[in-house]
Amino acid sequence: AMKTHYELYDLMKVLFIETNPVPAKEALNMMGKPAGHVRPPLGQLKEENRAKLRRILEDLSLL
C-alpha cells in the first residue's frame, strides 16, 4: 500500500492544484474518458497546470 501511495502521490497533488473538479475532468478528458467541461463559475485549467498534469499522466503511463 505504501509503495502505491508514493507512486500516485504526484497525481493526487496535481488533481487538487486548482479548484476540484477542474483538474480531475481535464485528466479524464486527456485519457479519452468523456468527462465533459466545467461550468461557471469554474474556469478552464491554467495552461501551466495542464502541462504539469499531462507530464504526470505520461510518467504514470496513463496517456
- Among 18, 25, 11, which residue's Cα sits nearest to residue 46? 18
Confidence of residue 58 (pLDDT cuts 50, 70, 90): very high
pLDDT band at 48 (very low <50, low <70, confident <90, very high): very high
48: its cell numbers: 501551466
Question: Do residues 17 and 49 touch, judged by C-beta distance below 8 A?
Answer: yes
Amino acid 11: pLDDT: 97
Helices 22-30/47-59 angle, 10° precision: 50
CA 61/CA 55 separation, integer angstroms = 10
pLDDT digits 0-9 by tens, 19-44: 989 999 999 999 999 999 999 999 99
**Cis geometry, peptide bond prior to residue 23 (ω within 30 degrees of 0):** no
